[in-house]
Structure 1
């Protein structure tokens, strides 16, 4: 069983250290999507733990040079005219925001209403991070 790309069970399992950047991004996307689907505090807690693990592994991955196949996947043949729509262009900063927010949510010190808003914010930040990291570069 793939521990990242399948539905999360209540007992989180560790994130494999062999995932590449895109696999980590896919895992983060899956986990943040699941956070919007589940309301059980225990299930959400497991998802927060798994998401924090993915974001922590991603920290090391962002510091390493990209593999050639990832460079090929991220390189555009021609300049793409896009408008910057990101909160920050620094992927590491976005990753830190996501990680910090998972830590806040894991603490469970907020009201249910605040948790819902923070879950939505986490979902948006994870998606911004993914968009930033998979955007083709000229």
Structure 2
């Protein structure tokens, strides 16, 4: 019997640790959320929530650290994008919200409608969080490193 490799299975085997760049951890969270929003299988949802929670737990203590020098160029662009936001929690609060929602969903004690709404909220918050972490920070023409 062979094991088929699916994007879902690949997500569950992606290695990451405290040494993983925060940009990669943010990408993984993004991918977990993309898969979770479409997932109806309870075991798969719990596995994805567990992996997402582990990534968020690794990201949380790094949020106040300076960006590593090898990533500076990645966050430097010719023109910063205009991104108006109506909900602007700081990165630490946003990470905490995501972790809390992931933990609540792991308990699997909600009404189906409530679980669906909270799963959607978690995914939207994770996409927002990952997008913020991966967004450009410096305008090349205005900033000297």
TM-score range, shorter chain: 0.7 to 0.9
Following TM superposition, by how much is the alpha carbon of 1:134 offset from its aligned partner in structure 2, in angstroms? 1.8
What TM-score do you get using the length of structure 1 for normalisation? 0.83
What TM-score do you get using the length of structure 2 for normalisation? 0.79
Following TM superposition, by how much is the alpha carbon of 1:14 offset from its aligned partner in structure 2, in angstroms? 7.2
Residues 81/74 of structure 1: CA separation in 2 closer, same or farther (3 Å cut):
closer
1:1-138 → structure 2 map (5 Å cutoff): 7-8=8-9, 15-78=16-79, 80=80, 82-85=82-85, 87-138=87-138
In 2, Cα distance between the equivalents of 1:46 and 1:21?
Answer: 21
In 2, Cα distance between the equivalents of 1:109 and 1:12?
Answer: 27
Number of equivalenced pairs = 131
Q: Where does the alignment leave 5 or more consecutive residues of structure 2 unmatched? A: 1-6, 139-145
In 2, Cα distance between the equivalents of 1:66 and 1:132?
Answer: 13
Q: CA RMSD in A?
A: 2.2
Q: Where does the alignment leave 5 or more consecutive residues of structure 1 unmatched? A: 1-5
Contact 1:29 1:126 (C-alpha < 8 Å) held by counterparts? yes
- Larger-Rg structure: 2
Following TM superposition, by how much is the alpha carbon of 1:53 offset from its aligned partner in structure 2, in angstroms? 0.4
Following TM superposition, by how much is the alpha carbon of 1:89 offset from its aligned partner in structure 2, in angstroms? 4.6
In 2, Cα distance between the equivalents of 1:106 and 1:81?
Answer: 36
Question: Relative CO higher for 1 or 2, CA cutoff 8 Å, sep ≥ 6?
Answer: 2
Following TM superposition, by how much is the alpha carbon of 1:15 offset from its aligned partner in structure 2, in angstroms? 3.9
In 2, Cα distance between the equivalents of 1:38 and 1:17?
Answer: 27
